[in-house]
Structure 1
Amino acid sequence: MPVPRILTSFRHTLSSLIVITSGAFLVACGGGDGHTNLLSAGAGTANSYSIAGSVSDLAGSGLVLQNNAGDDLAVSANGSFTFATTVTSGAAYNVSVRTQPSAPAQTCTVANGSGQANTAISNVAVTCVTTPVYTVGGTVSGLVGSGLVLQNKGADNLAVSADGNFTFATAAVIGGTYNVTVQTQPRVPAQTCTVTSGSGTISASVTNIAINCITPIGRFAYITNSGSNSVSAYAINASTGALTSIGSVTTGSANPNAVAADPSGKFVYASNANGGGNLSSYTVDASTGALTTSGSLVTGTNQNSVTVAPSGKFAYSLNTALNSVTAYAINTSTGALTQTTSISTGTQPRDITIEPSGRFAYVANTMSNSVSAYALNADTGAMTLIAHITVGSLPNAVISDASGKFVYVIYPFSNTISAHTIDASSGILTQVATFSTGAHPTTAASDASAKFVYVVNSSDNTVSAWAINTSTGGLTLVGTVATGTYPTAVTVDPSGKFVYVANVNDNTVSIYSVNAATGALTAAGTMAGLAGPTAIVITK
């Protein structure tokens, strides 16, 4: 049945009244006072308020605020801020600094930052103060070597290349501590740097730390004597280079042919070719230089060379008849040796050298016409073969220059010396050139400045000075001077002022002064030694 028109009209009127009444209800419950109203059936109304404030004196970057340990808000400039999340009426708010600004470093503090949100909060005040920057530094004096590295508190490495002021990169804070040490001593030439006023508590910038570097001078010389099976000790006159006998000790085995000392000068080691093949160990009296026998270690047949790693933690010797090289751990308190590993070489190894960084070792193998290159483990002393590198005919000796960039190989039967570059990453050698020497060169030595190489020519009874091209490693002959009869060993004192040559057939040691600019040698005297001097090492 059709709905009467009067009823339809009534329905429209009722709908309109409901809509109007609802809208009026919403308007009556609304508000413009900075909070939000929420409707919940049967539960009444809950208000929510914003949390805001202002930042002043902000100069750095990276400031981050938090409310109630959340709702992170990054602030990049002075002015007002408002957190994104509102707080329910009556709930707590707690504004804090999560990340302080940097560049420049600042410390920001919060005022009016906590309470109950019973209305919109707009008075939180964040004030920033630039943190005073304190530095740690001082002066370096006496530096002539390269490679000096300083540290503060075991970090913040600082390379120093010349005398003058230095400042660590990391800023310090008031009340903090500093402790400056030498991480790496200079070399080329080798120096010893000491720290004065290096530690304390920071109350202002530190500028009085003093780093004093000195070039060590040779204090004592030690010579192996194959004719008397002994090691003789000598004091060195720092002005003239003259040697004064301190005494000698026996090696306990026949034919000592090589000698080495640890970098601290506390211990000396001699290799003995015969009598089972062993290493003799000695402790050094720090005041007089006198040697005391501390032990003998049987190592292998026909010992021919011994060397100590720059760290002073490990020693290495060659077993010529066994075609091997053996590594030993050094007890840094007593000097005692403990064999750790042994590894094969080429045929008939004759000489071993370790480049100054202590990362690579090289062995000259006479009968296989090769140099074996090894990587050295700094923690264990273990050797890992890199390669057997083919060189000239019948190599007898191998040395590294003080820069660690070049290796030189000596060939007695072809009267030559070859120069090689060291690949700093792999340790591989690349030959640069070969140079003619005097008759029957047996060995060579480089000075601490890495500018000169000295080669003894046994059949000529001479020693030659060569200048090193510091870019290529090539050699230029400076000059040649006479020695005693059949020179077999040469060494340069740590200061680079003197060169010493051991002459095996006339039982003498020739002494020379060095021209610091050219490397040229001038005879400074001859010392009568014990029978059959074969090798010489100098301690500082």
Structure 2
Amino acid sequence: MSSKKPRSSQGKVAFVVGVGCIGLAACGLEEGGFAARSHGDGGQNPGGPLRKIGGNVAGLLGRGLTLQINGGEDLVIAEDGPFVFSTGVATGAPYSVKVKGQPTETYQRCTVKGGDGTAGDKNVLDVEVTCALLPSCKELHTDFPALPNGVYLMSPNGDSDTTAYCDMVYDGGGWTLILATTNNSGPDELTAASSKEEIAPGKKKYMTTDRMKALAALSSQVHVRESGKPDQSITSTRDSEPITNLRKGQLVNFGMETLGAAAQVARWTGVYAVEKTLGFSCAITDQTYPAIYWACGNNEGMHLVRSLSVWKHEGETPNKNIPMDVFLR
């Protein structure tokens, strides 16, 4: 997993006292504020005692979180727990605590609650900073657009973690891998990945049903490719049956047999979005995830179900399994 080192700078602010500290005891947080003093420009402090601004960080998994107060002082946070800025704020003056840099050792999104206000006659020590894993590669790509393809830790359902491969390049990036077969496997031969196991091409793993359904609820498209060949693929149209079926844990083409081949194909784009690959006529009633697609009644169609991982194209022989990957975005 890639990582970045955060940059920290000391900006110019109205009142600067020492350096930021982490831990209430280390900061000496008695009820009083910082002593008032003049700034370096020779002007007098107009507000009397300066109030301390701080709070608590929860959920942080790695390094890289940087907080900032009033657009000036930066405070790098290394772990969960209390923090206090060294920059004091005069009584009656506004304060604003923001996240300047998100964690990049383990990629997370941290948010601030109670970070804006006006200093009163007491220290402000109840700013809450909460950090959480992002739910998908799409969200990772949004927050960290320079991330390359690779395996990242995320939490689609917000309760449990999963380690999944992200395609950050194809068609704008942000695709989360949910299932990967090999040339000797179909969905029945795969095993559900635990939170510590990678869901990556060639791993013969699939995302657990609860996590997949949570991810599908946040996604609008399904993308199926021959492993390692992004352009040898199909991608569903936005919010059509393929993704709405997966949100229920069903085959992506469940219940579509009455639409006819042309309408079935119209739910997809890509080089293999043709009737010979995606058209089918059988009623599908008993197949659930990790099965993905069953072109039943079409010997030359796409079969990613049971022990099959093939999309046999017109005129091709023999009909044998190939590695296939399924992504959501």
> Which structure: greater strand fraction?
1
TM-score range, shorter chain: 0.3 to 0.5
TM-score if structure 2 supplies the norm length? Answer: 0.38
Which has the higher relative contact order, 1 or 2, with Cα contacts under 8 A spaced 6 or more apart?
Answer: 2
> Which structure: greater helix fraction?
2
